[in-house]
Amino acid sequence: MIIEITKDNIPKTKNQLKNMIIDAIKKPSFQTHNDIKISVNGTCLQGYITCPFSKLVETFGNPMIGDFDKTDVEWNITFADGTIATIYNWKNGKNYCGDEAQEVEEITDWNIGGKSQNACVEVYKAVFKQPYGIGME
């Protein structure tokens, strides 16, 4: 965890410092395919996430185009602890279902891929700003 303190944001009270620390803890440290090339070889389905496409774009930036077969879009993410995750729609978009399927911007059911369940933990922390399963129904 890195807390960047500059001359413009020096905390003046303990409460301000506490809030800076909490914000740093809540802010996930990751890079996506938009930042670097990420190898996702060896990843497979680890879990699911339900959230709007717009929330994923807000969190991880623009997705890559899918495989033109079973997926429409995909995000590749590497987290600070080395966890690799992928988020993708699977067989629920126009590439697989045809013109009657939802637009990708309307999809809310996503697959999470990775090499371990930690991929789900890190994705949930990044998207919902809380650990996997906490507050989820």
Structural domain count, the chain? 1
* Residues 13 and 20 sit within 8 Å (Cβ to Cβ): no
- Domain for residue 7, yes or no? no
Confidence (pLDDT) at 5? 73
In this structure, is residue 45 part of a structural domain? Answer: yes
pLDDT at position 132, please?
Answer: 56
In a domain, 14, yes or no: no
Q: Check whether 135 has a pLDDT greater than 50.
A: no
| CA-based nearest residue to 93, from 85, 82, 104 | 104
pLDDT confidence bin for 136, thresholds 50/70/90: very low
- CATH number of the domain at 109, please: 3.30.310
pLDDT 10s digits, 19-69: 877 777 666 589 999 999 999 999 999 999 999 999 999 999 999 999 999
Residue 19 forms part of a structural domain: no
Measured between alpha carbons, how far is 69 from 125 in angstroms, rounded to an integer? 30
Q: How far apart are CA 137 and CA 131, in angstroms?
A: 13
- Asked whether residue 95 is domain-assigned, the answer is yes
Is residue 32 helix, strand or coil? Answer: strand
Domain membership of residue 67 as a residue range: 30-128
Q: Tell me the average pLDDT across 59-80.
A: 96
**Mean pLDDT of all residues in the chain?**
89
Per-residue pLDDT, averaged over 96-102, amounts to 95
pTM, two decimal places: 0.77
User: Residue 92: inside a domain, yes or no?
Assistant: yes
Residue 51 placed within a domain: yes
Query: Is 8 domain-assigned?
Result: no
